[in-house]
Amino acid sequence: MKKEKRETISKQLRWKCFSAVSSASGLASASFSCCGRFGIAAYRRYSSGSGYPNISLSSPLPGIPKPVFASVDGQEKYETKITTLENGLKVASQNKFGQFCTVGVLVNSGSRHETKYPSGIAHFLEKLAFSSTAQYGSKDEILLTLEKHGGICDCQTSRDTTMYAVSAEVKGLDTVVSLLSDAVLQPRLLDEEIEMTRMAVRFELEDLNMRPDPEPLLTEMIHAAAYRGNTVGLPRFCPGDNVDKIDKKVLHNYLRSYYCPERMVLAGVGIEHEQLVECARKHLLDVRPVWGESTPTNVDLSVAQYTGISIYFPDECLTQKEYFVSLSQEDDFIPFAVLNMMMGGGGSFSAGGPGKGMFTRLYLNVLNRHHWMYNATSYHHSYEDSGLLCIHASADPRQVREMVEIITREFIQMAGTAGEMELERAKTQLKSMLMMNLESRPVIFEDVGRQVLSTGKRKLPHELCTLISNVTASDIKRVTTKMLRSKPAVAALGDLTELPSYEHIQAALSSKDGRLPRMYRLFR
Amino acid sequence: APSICSTTPETRLTALDNGLRVASEETGHGTCTVGLWISAGSRYESEKNNGAGFFLEHMAFKGTKKHPQTALEQQVESMGAHLSAYTSREHTAYYMKTLSKDLPKAVELLSEVVQSSSLSEADIEQQRGVVLRELEEVEGNLQDVCLDLLHATAFQGTPLGHSVLGPSSNARSLTRQDLMDYINSHYKAPRIVLAAAGGVNHEELVGLAKTHFSGVSFEYEGDAVPVLSPCRFTGSEIRMRDDGLPLAHIAIAVEGASAASPDIVPLMVANSIIGSYDITYGGGKHLSSRLARLAVEENLCHSFQAFHSSYSDTGLLGIYFVTDKHHIDDMMHWMNLCTTVTESDVARGKNALKASLVGQLNGTTPICDDIGRHILNYGRRIPLAEWDARIDAVTPRMVRDVCSKYIYDKCPAVAGVGPVEQLPDYNRMRSAMYWLRF
């Protein structure tokens, strides 16, 4: 009896919800709004599943107090505040409303600093992050503690920075900072953890080689070609033979030299600056790291030496051929970013819809005219003392020569005068991409951290937008001419029998129109 | 009673006279996302015009009566905006990400795309080739293939079994008239929501909506209102055996809860207890989900993911995993986990769920998408405070009871792609569904 009564009531509730919905939304929706489906699920006789309060999600839950919503007053012109502690550690924060915050430690250490060590330490450290530490017996404990505050943790290494980040509720700030200090300065690095990391690294290397998309491999190659054997040219992923060479002692040696307070920044987004500084004082000042005092004596301060050379990876099995040409650039980060936006490019199948760069030069001049090319994209990598502007192209192996010529011609044309409309479009797209990316809290956190780590200050988004607006066509011309004077770096992957020689490519890039020198062959 | 001070702004909802709903959340960003969420999708299509919605999505940005294709594209590119669309089984969305000051232009372009798309014959022919090529490419993505097969078998014979892209025969034969019919029967004002998030002002948005969308009709021809017939779930299986593939992709699901059903909350908690796993996660033995720990210790699989797809009157609750051909049998023991749920598992699951609900809302586009979908599914935007309250009300006993309501002794739907020889016979899998012991 009771069960039937409950079911009738739940039926009535359901109809009430639907009539409320349909009257709010007009005439036609009533007949096909979710008809109460009184199928098997509702009529189970032996399970008590339907006995629970069943207020459909379409109507508000009764009994909860009415929430008071936040209101946004004016523009969010919060500033980034920076403080330097006594031991050299910088603390930077940007306030933002919301109940969640992202806090993390960025260290000026990456694969570029591994000259005197076996390559791959950065890769290992990334996988070992947030494992057992002095206070937390295992990764599980760390995750449990974080879950109490709805938090997640992550580590990312790149060529020049290592970033440990935690996103959690604002009330858990103290726990978060203590956890970060533990994870960065006092990891236990147990043998079994290192063994598991070795397995994970091997899997990742296998996965990289198996993937149809060659981009990560090519990025490695082009950096190795551009900066032969030094700093940024060192491999970012651990080379296969080094996987077994790296152990606790090697890691401690490295950490001793590079993980010192002067090379670190504690950044936070979504919290008050004073609170963050207080937590930093409590947990990061005068903490003795597990490897002993940090002695920054063996620090590699080398400046990236650009050496353009070529690196080829002939591989008969690949049907496509990938090709990267890049040139160095030093300052003038913003004009190069605008230039990169103007060149654009992507896959030949489709740009992805309006707004994704279908009017950029690589689409208009290259992909739309030569349908046999699979892909032509321009990339811009920038480090604190040097940078790369690359064009990546891929096509069938038999058309390598034409492809190379097209790319060299594009490079030469970069030094010509940019059209006014295309320049304006590139600037607007760059500004809007910047603003859209900075909507997300983790991105703001990374931006604050990286800027403070490299320059000690942070330029706010609207300042960057002004700088972008001030770029003129003559700026682009100036930076491109300077860039074209340096030697090119070439990386190629695939069936390379038809690839022109490096000297020819170099000659093409120094010529006026970008054409490859004519090759006369008696036997074709 | 004390009021909850929320740290998110309110979502404001207004309805125009013709039934079109306008909703927005003002967050003060310099950018915004604005879009149209429409209650139309492959579920509303018949066998003959299956794929019309997807084709229409391709045609959408090929020009309108006022802006031919190049003009439309140049406008969008010069604004630095991104124009995108997606179609799913029950929803279609057209949205644009742009700087906040360009909101009026964005709404104008969107209104043209939806109401006066030119749909020229030449463009239709050209897009046929693109659609066929995309159908070919999708065949390579085995996760999508597996989940599509799952829907096709679970909802066989009903419109929910159709795949969103439609068969290639339809891609070859759809005409302009089919696409116009589709628009005229489904793009009606009460089924459309104009949603926006970011640096947008609600009054301004409503004004713009009145200017551009008052013309959207709310009446059907001949008063023939399309009725969504219920889609029955059929316990069944489908296997696409191919021993040449390196890994097997398998999905098992039972009928789940509908979108607005209150059972969704305990089911979401159960899913976050099982969680997801991928072999490239560095966590190893210390992942929080028990199944993940087992998967690592015994090297059971490459990845798995618990999912719940819900539609307006039904749903699919299940697990999808990728493994090599020798471990399929071992992975089948996930069902036991529903009975052995403990207090701490549930506490963890609830926290993880609350965190992920908030964490996903990072940026104007996810917020706008959330607003659009909530209004189509529930008629209102559920505030985070209410989600928190509903999640807090979940107890371990509730999780066990609700799970047994949907899983215990029910016929599953199974889809397998790849080297699936070891996948047990359907009858064995069906009988395993009542081995659960309390």
B79 and A CB contact within 8 Å: yes
- Tell me, what's the pLDDT at B308? 92
Nearest Cβ partner of B5 from A68, A75, A358?
A: A68
pLDDT tens figures, A95-122: 877 778 899 999 988 888 888 888 888 8
A52 and B CB contact within 8 Å: yes
Distance CA B381, CA A139 (A): 37
Quick one: A325 and A254 in the same domain?
no
Q: Which residues on chain A are in Cβ contact (under 8 Å) with B2? A: 65
- Tell me, what's the pLDDT at B436? 57
Distance CA A14, CA A241 (A): 65
Whether the per-residue pLDDT at A85 is higher than 60: the answer is yes
Closest Cα in chain B, distance from residue A285 (Å):
29
Distance CA A192, CA A188 (A): 11
Quick one: A260 and A331 in the same domain?
no
Lowest-confidence pick of A82-86, A134-138, B284-288, B373-377: B284-288
A60 and B CB contact within 8 Å: yes
Quick one: A332 and A245 in the same domain?
no
Lowest-confidence pick of A370-384, B305-319, B364-378: A370-384
Is B262 in Cβ contact with A54 (below 8 Å)? yes
- Tell me, what's the pLDDT at A384? 76
- Tell me, what's the pLDDT at A313? 60
pLDDT tens figures, B57-99: 888 888 888 888 888 888 888 888 898 999 999 999 999 999 9
* Angle in degrees, CA B279, B280, B284, rounded to 5: 70
| Residue A35 CB-density burial (10 A; 0-12 exposed, 13-18 middle, 19+ buried) | middle
Task: Indicate the pLDDT class of residue A335, thresholds 50, 70 and 90.
Answer: confident
Quick one: A89 and A175 in the same domain?
yes
Residue A257: which residues within 8 A CB-CB, separation 6 or more? A294, A295, A296, A297, A298, A299
Residue B24 near residue B84, CB atoms below 8 Å: no
Counting DSSP H helices and E strands in chain A, the numbers are: 16, 13
Q: Return the residue matching tokens 């860039």.
A: A483
Distance CA B8, CA B378 (A): 20
Whether the per-residue pLDDT at B248 is higher than 70: the answer is yes
Whether the per-residue pLDDT at B187 is higher than 70: the answer is yes
Quick one: A336 and A279 in the same domain?
no
Task: Indicate the pLDDT class of residue A40, thresholds 50, 70 and 90.
Answer: very low
Whether the per-residue pLDDT at B152 is higher than 60: the answer is yes
Quick one: A204 and A144 in the same domain?
yes
Active site residues of B: 57
Closest Cα in chain B, distance from residue A502 (Å):
36
pLDDT tens figures, B256-306: 988 888 889 999 998 888 888 877 665 555 566 777 777 777 777 888 888
Quick one: A329 and A473 in the same domain?
yes
Lowest-confidence pick of A33-42, A242-251, B30-39: A33-42
For residues B306-316, give the mean pLDDT: 91
Residues in chain A: 524
Whether the per-residue pLDDT at A140 is higher than 60: the answer is yes
Domain B236-432 - what CATH class?
Answer: alpha beta
Of A490, A499, A495, A491, which Cα lies nearest the Cα of A321?
A: A495
Distance CA B222, CA A362 (A): 51
- Tell me, what's the pLDDT at B6? 60
- What is the Cα A333 distance to its own chain's centre? 18
Residue B95 near residue B76, CB atoms below 8 Å: no
Share of chain B above pLDDT 90, in %: 33
For residues B228-235, give the mean pLDDT: 87
Question: What is the helix (H) or strand (E) element at residue B277, kind and residue range?
Answer: strand B276-278
Interface of A with B in 356-375 (CB under 8 A): 356-359
- Tell me, what's the pLDDT at B325? 83
Closest Cα in chain B, distance from residue A156 (Å):
12
A279 lies in some domain: yes
A65 lies in some domain: no
The residue ranking higher by pLDDT, B127 or A231, is B127
Distance CA A254, CA A260 (A): 11
Is A57 in Cβ contact with B261 (below 8 Å)? yes
Q: Which residues on chain A are in Cβ contact (under 8 Å) with B378? A: 57-58
Counting DSSP H helices and E strands in chain B, the numbers are: 16, 13
Quick one: A209 and A344 in the same domain?
no
- Tell me, what's the pLDDT at A500? 78
- Tell me, what's the pLDDT at B399? 85
- Tell me, what's the pLDDT at A60? 81
pLDDT tens figures, A388-434: 888 888 888 788 888 888 888 888 888 787 788 888 888 998 998 88
Distance CA B153, CA B145 (A): 12
Residue A204 near residue A237, CB atoms below 8 Å: yes
CB A492: neighbour CB atoms within 10 A?
Answer: 24
Whether the per-residue pLDDT at B334 is higher than 90: the answer is no
Closest Cα in chain A, distance from residue B276 (Å):
15
For residues B124-138, give the mean pLDDT: 89
**Count of domains in chain A?**
2
Distance CA B14, CA B28 (A): 20
Q: Which residues on chain A are in Cβ contact (under 8 Å) with B3? A: 65-68
Tokens of A218: 């090519």
Interface of B with A in 260-279 (CB under 8 A): 260-264, 266, 279
Is A67 in Cβ contact with B5 (below 8 Å)? yes
The residue ranking higher by pLDDT, A46 or A81, is A81
Task: Say whether A345 sits in a helix, a strand or coil.
Answer: strand
Quick one: A271 and A351 in the same domain?
no
Quick one: A97 and A246 in the same domain?
yes
Q: Which residues on chain A are in Cβ contact (under 8 Å) with B285? A: 196
Whether the per-residue pLDDT at B103 is higher than 80: the answer is yes
Distance CA A117, CA A111 (A): 10
Q: Which residues on chain A are in Cβ contact (under 8 Å) with B83? A: 353-355
Is A207 in Cβ contact with B364 (below 8 Å)? no
For residues A226-235, give the mean pLDDT: 79
The count of C-alpha atoms lying within 13 angstroms of the C-alpha of A111, restricted to the half-sphere facing its C-beta, is 22
Is A57 in Cβ contact with B260 (below 8 Å)? yes
Domain with CATH 3.30.830.10 in chain B: 11-214, 236-432
Task: Write down the CATH superfamily of domain B11-214.
Answer: Metalloenzyme, LuxS/M16 peptidase-like (3.30.830.10)
Of B198, B32, B199, B80, which Cα lies nearest the Cα of A430?
A: B80
Question: What is the helix (H) or strand (E) element at residue B171, kind and residue range?
Answer: helix B168-173
A201 lies in some domain: yes
Whether the per-residue pLDDT at B395 is higher than 60: the answer is yes
Of B118, A346, B88, which Cα lies nearest the Cα of A355?
A: A346
Computed on alpha carbons and rounded to an integer, the radius of gyration of chain A in Å comes to 28
State the average pLDDT for chain B.
86
Computed on alpha carbons and rounded to an integer, the radius of gyration of chain B in Å comes to 23
Whether the per-residue pLDDT at B352 is higher than 90: the answer is no
- Tell me, what's the pLDDT at A6? 45
- Tell me, what's the pLDDT at A201? 87
ipTM: 0.77
Task: Indicate the pLDDT class of residue B336, thresholds 50, 70 and 90.
Answer: low
Task: Say whether B38 sits in a helix, a strand or coil.
Answer: strand
- Tell me, what's the pLDDT at A302? 61
Range of the domain at A479: 310-510
Is B78 in Cβ contact with A425 (below 8 Å)? yes
User: Longest Cα pair distance anywhere in chain B, in angstroms?
Assistant: 65
Share of chain A above pLDDT 70, in %: 77
Given its phi and psi angles, is residue B246 left (phi above 0), alpha (psi -120 to 50 degrees) or beta?
A: alpha
For residues B12-29, give the mean pLDDT: 90
Residue B163 near residue B152, CB atoms below 8 Å: yes
- Here the CATH number for the domain that contains residue A102 is 3.30.830.10
Is A100 in Cβ contact with B80 (below 8 Å)? no
For residues A224-243, give the mean pLDDT: 81
Share of chain A above pLDDT 90, in %: 3
Share of chain B above pLDDT 70, in %: 93
Q: Which residues on chain A are in Cβ contact (under 8 Å) with B32? A: none
Tokens of A142: 């760390």
Task: Indicate the pLDDT class of residue A320, thresholds 50, 70 and 90.
Answer: very low
CB B125: neighbour CB atoms within 10 A?
Answer: 9
Quick one: A417 and A487 in the same domain?
yes
- Scored b (16 or more CB within 10 A) or e, B291-326 reads bbbbbbeeebbbbbbbbbbbbbbbbbbbbbbbbbbe
Is A67 in Cβ contact with B260 (below 8 Å)? no
Interface of A with B in 255-284 (CB under 8 A): none
Tokens of B49: 């015009």
Task: Indicate the pLDDT class of residue A346, thresholds 50, 70 and 90.
Answer: confident
Residue B408: which residues within 8 A CB-CB, separation 6 or more? A47, B433, B434, B436
